[in-house]
């Protein structure tokens, strides 16, 4: 591109900042979440003229990326955040890590000091590129305005293809202000060093079919890759074709239908006993789009001890990284599962798992402990029963913060299908769920969006209540208020003799009053008999509303694995 002479349609000189905004418009970006500062003022000035990109002013930069993350999870398209240099950029690191761990397509545009000042410890200079290098899929430091447009095109392509993930673009202030000739947005992108593999190797697919033909006790493990590649129908086709039970990681929730006989539910540290027992007892694991994280597998040396393993993943770095694999297949979940089903049918394989399914069904009788209900104290099940009943016929998306309430939700909340349960998996980021709900609500303005939070986690980004009001969003929040950091307290109870350190929270603030101060409707409920009416009032409130659920501090999350234990050594399950 030439460096001079380009004039925008409004007669103003085209600058790097204006070329950036034109690029975002060309990518179809509708919302950008951000917080301004000195190094990005040229970009904000250019946004002022955009009729296609709406800027959403958050109250903290971490929330900007979480909101973009939520937007991406519910749509499948990249979410976009814009922050200034120095502390503005470094405030996003936890949120970028969160997106990286869960393979979410996010593009973060960060300002940087002038190219002439980089490396001089200038005001609000930080090496954001270096700081985020371990937790991004790719990153750019733009040194010439000519590079902005092609870099944005590449960034969106990289973020959303292959294994999705966050991409960072750092734009120094003088580059944003420099003149540039905008010759149109590239229709395509070519990156010779970036060629994700989508179709699985045909020989390895046939090897997988051979293992499946020999198996008597197979299990499918569905990971988050099922949802990101929209492979739910392919997963169901394989499972039903050969009558193979399906266990899900937390990130795969919604990938397999609720109530299906083959659905085992969530596996892992707080998973369903039947899922964990089936994995321990199987002779073949077909793992799709999962990285075999420790919270899912238990101790890896004793994971599925008698099983051979087929691992399907679009990221070759994940195959064999944590679990020994017999048949590795690099490729997109949809493409590979579709090919696998085709080969299964071509080979004439028929179901031979009737005895295995009877054994698995026998394990369904193992239930995790839960507190006895009484008329004086609310338990989590009271709230989830009301939520399930009152949202059964509604288009609803739930987001969660991180903690005990998150695992209660995974256990008790009805499964509504893909992209309806938005949660932080790999990083376990407190403060994620509420700003994520903002992104979800903007992406789906007609949906009922409910954030489930604990009294600890909601306070990580509670300032975003102002953002909700300013944007006119009808987000609902349920705070499970047990006066403690419940999951950490449980670990101290189980492994540290009940010696509580820094986990007890005074029951402040009064969340209903705080909601009122922000212009929300606030409700409080303390008796089980009042829960259904309180939840109904929350869901029917006009505009944003919060329900403070007053709970005792004694309800734990069961089942649970101790670190280092195998999947069949679950605590809190009677008879095991």
Q: What is the pLDDT of residues 48-65, one digit of tens each?
A: 999 999 999 999 999 999
**190 inside domain:** no
On the question of pLDDT at 2 being above 80, the answer is no
**Can you give the pLDDT at residue 11?**
60
Instruction: Assess whether 358 and 393 both reside in one domain.
Output: no
Instruction: Assess whether 236 and 291 both reside in one domain.
Output: yes
Instruction: Assess whether 391 and 537 both reside in one domain.
Output: yes
Instruction: Assess whether 29 and 108 both reside in one domain.
Output: yes
The pLDDT-based confidence of 3 (bands split at 50, 70, 90) is very low
Instruction: Assess whether 56 and 140 both reside in one domain.
Output: yes
**568 inside domain:** no
**566 inside domain:** no
Instruction: Assess whether 357 and 393 both reside in one domain.
Output: no
3-class SS at 38? helix
**Can you give the pLDDT at residue 232?**
98
The pLDDT-based confidence of 576 (bands split at 50, 70, 90) is confident
- With 0-12 / 13-18 / 19 or more C-beta atoms within 10 angstroms meaning exposed / middle / buried, residue 37 is buried
**374 inside domain:** no
**182 inside domain:** no
Q: Are 33 and 79 in contact (CB under 8 A)?
A: yes
Instruction: Assess whether 435 and 358 both reside in one domain.
Output: no
State the virtual CA torsion across 105, 111, 115, 118 in degrees, nearest 10.
Answer: -90
**Can you give the pLDDT at residue 12?**
72
Q: Which of 300, 333, 363 is the last residue of a domain?
A: 363
3-class SS at 389? helix
Mean pLDDT, the chain, rounded, equals: 96
In this structure, the number of other CB atoms found within 10 A of the CB of residue 394 comes to 11
Strands 31-35 and 284-288: unpaired
Instruction: Assess whether 304 and 169 both reside in one domain.
Output: no
The pLDDT-based confidence of 564 (bands split at 50, 70, 90) is confident
The total of structural domains in the chain comes to 3
Q: Is the pTM of this model over 0.75?
A: yes
Domain that holds residue 401: 380-550
Q: Which of 162, 177, 192 is the last residue of a domain?
A: 177
On the question of pLDDT at 377 being above 60, the answer is yes
For residue 394, give the CATH number of its domain: 3.40.50.970
- Once rounded to an integer, what is the mean pLDDT over residues 418-422? 98
C-alpha–C-alpha distance, residues 445 and 498, integer Å? 45
- Once rounded to an integer, what is the mean pLDDT over residues 34-48? 98
**Can you give the pLDDT at residue 9?**
60
């Amino acid at each position: 591109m030439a460096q001079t002479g380009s004039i925008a349609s409004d007669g103003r000189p085209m600058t790097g900042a204006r070329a950036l905004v034109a690029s975002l418009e060309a990518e179809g970006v509708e919302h950008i979440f951000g917080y301004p500062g000195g190094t990005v003022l040229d970009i904000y000035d250019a946004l002022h003229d955009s009729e296609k990109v709406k800027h959403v002013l958050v109250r903290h930069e971490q929330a900007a990326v979480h909101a973009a993350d939520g937007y991406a999870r519910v749509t499948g398209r990249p979410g976009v955040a814009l922050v200034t240099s120095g502390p503005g950029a470094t405030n996003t690191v936890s949120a970028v890590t969160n997106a990286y761990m869960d393979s979410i397509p996010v593009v973060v545009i960060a300002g940087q000091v002038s190219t002439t000042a980089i490396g001089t410890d200038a005001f609000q200079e930080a090496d954001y590129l270096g700081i985020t290098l371990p937790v991004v899929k790719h990153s750019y430091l733009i040194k010439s305005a000519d590079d902005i447009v092609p870099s944005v095109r590449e960034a969106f392509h990289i973020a959303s293809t292959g294994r999705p993930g966050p991409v960072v673009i750092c734009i120094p202030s003088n580059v944003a202000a420099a003149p540039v000739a905008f010759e149109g947005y590239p229709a395509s992108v070519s990156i010779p060093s970036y060629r994700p593999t989508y179709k699985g190797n045909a020989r390895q697919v046939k090897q997988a079919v051979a293992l499946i033909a020999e198996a008597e006790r197979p299990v499918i493990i569905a990971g988050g890759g099922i949802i990101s590649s929209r492979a739910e129908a392919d997963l169901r086709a394989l499972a039903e074709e050969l009558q193979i039970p399906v266990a899900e990681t937390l990130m795969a929730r919604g990938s397999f239908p609720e109530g299906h006989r083959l659905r085992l539910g969530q596996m892992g540290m707080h998973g369903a006993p039947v899922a964990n027992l089936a994995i321990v007892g199987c002779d073949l694991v077909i793992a799709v789009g999962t990285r075999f994280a420790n919270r899912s597998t238990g101790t890896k040396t004793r994971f599925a001890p008698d099983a051979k393993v087929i691992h399907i993943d679009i990221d070759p770095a994940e195959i064999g990284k944590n679990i020994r694999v017999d048949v590795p297949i690099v490729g997109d979940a949809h493409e590979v599962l579709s090919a696998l089903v085709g080969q299964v049918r071509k080979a004439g394989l028929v179901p031979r798992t009737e005895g295995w399914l009877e054994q698995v069904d026998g394990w369904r009788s193992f239930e995790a402990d839960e507190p006895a209900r009484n008329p004086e104290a609310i338990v989590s099940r009271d709230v989830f029963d009301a939520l399930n009943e009152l949202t059964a016929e509604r288009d609803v998306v739930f987001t969660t913060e991180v903690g005990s309430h998150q695992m209660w939700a995974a256990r008790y909340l009805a499964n509504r299908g893909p992209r309806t349960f938005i949660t932080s998996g790999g990083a376990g980021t407190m403060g994620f769920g509420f700003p994520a709900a903002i992104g979800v609500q903007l992406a789906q303005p007609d949906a009922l969006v409910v954030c489930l939070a604990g009294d600890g986690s909601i306070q990580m980004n509670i300032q975003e209540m102002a953002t909700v009001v300013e944007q006119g969003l009808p987000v609902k929040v349920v705070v499970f208020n047990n006066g403690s950091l419940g999951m950490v307290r449980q670990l101290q109870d189980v492994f540290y003799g009940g010696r509580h350190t820094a986990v007890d929270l005074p029951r402040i603030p009064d969340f209903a009053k705080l909601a009122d101060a922000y212009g929300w409707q606030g409700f409080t409920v303390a008796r089980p008999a009042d829960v259904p009416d309180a939840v109904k009032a929350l869901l029917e409130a006009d505009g944003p509303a919060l329900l403070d659920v007053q709970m005792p501090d004694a309800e734990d999350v069961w089942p649970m694995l101790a670190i280092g234990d195998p999947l069949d050594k679950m605590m809190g399950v009677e008879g095991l």
